[in-house]
Amino acid sequence: MPAAGIPGIGDPVPDFALPNQYGETVRSEDLAGAPAVLVFYPFAFSRVCSGELEVLAGLQPEFSAAGARLLAVSCDAKYSLRAWAAERGWGFDLLSDFWPHGAAAKAFGVFEESRGMAGRSSFIAGADGLITRILRSGPDEPRRAGDYLQALSALSAGERN
C-alpha cells in the first residue's frame, strides 16, 4: 500500500499544471477522456534519459493506436527541454517541473530531495483518470519498452493491474 498522499494503482492522477517545452501549460484535467502515460525522468541531455526517451519516441505509433498521450516530466527548465526536444526531433510534450522545484514529482511521490530530481517512474492512467500501472527503475536503469506495451495492451483490453 502506498504511503499517505502518494498515488497508487486505482488512485486518480494528482493535480498538476506544468509548462511544456514551448511554454504552453498542460494540466492534469487536460488528460480527461483519454489514456495518458506520464514518464518522470531525472535530467535532460543525460545518457540514460536520452536513450529511454528515444525508445519512447519510437513507440509513438503504439501510443497513438491506444489513444494515449505521452508526457515526459523532469525538473529541468523549459528552455533546456525545448533545446533537447529540437535536437532529438521529439514530437511529444516534455513538461518542466522546474518551479516550484519538483512540485509535480512530489505530488506523485517520486521527487528525490537529496538530488533535486525526479526519480525514474512512469504512471499509466486510463481515460477515467485513474492510475492503472506504475513502472519504476533505478536512476541509471531505463524502464523496459515491453512494460509500456503491456500497459497499453491492458488499457485497450480494459484490464487493471
What would the pLDDT profile of 63-100 be if each residue is shown by its tens digit?
Answer: 999 999 999 999 999 999 999 999 999 999 999 999 99
Q: pLDDT digits over 112-161, tens only?
A: 999 999 999 999 999 999 999 999 998 889 999 999 999 988 887 764 44
Tell me which H or E stretch contains 86. Answer: helix 78-88
Residue type (1 letter), 151 = A
DSSP code per residue over 35-83: -EEEEE-S-TT-HHHHHHHHHHHHTHHHHHHTTPEEEEEESS-HHHHHH
46's CB contacts (< 8 A; 6+ apart) are none
Per DSSP bridges, beta strands 117-118 and 111-112 are: antiparallel
> Which pLDDT belongs to residue 59?
94
Owner of C-alpha cell 528552455: 79
CA distance 21 to 18: 10
**8 A C-beta contact, residue 125 and residue 140:** no
CA distance 148 to 154: 10
> Of residues 2 and 96, which shows the higher confidence score?
96
Q: How confident is the model at residue 14 (pLDDT cuts 50, 70, 90)?
A: very high
- One of 49, 107, 118, 151 is an active-site residue; which one? 49
How close are the terminal C-alpha atoms of the chain, in Å?
14
pTM confidence score: 0.92
**8 A C-beta contact, residue 28 and residue 34:** no
The answer to whether 49 is a known catalytic residue is yes
> Which pLDDT belongs to residue 126?
95
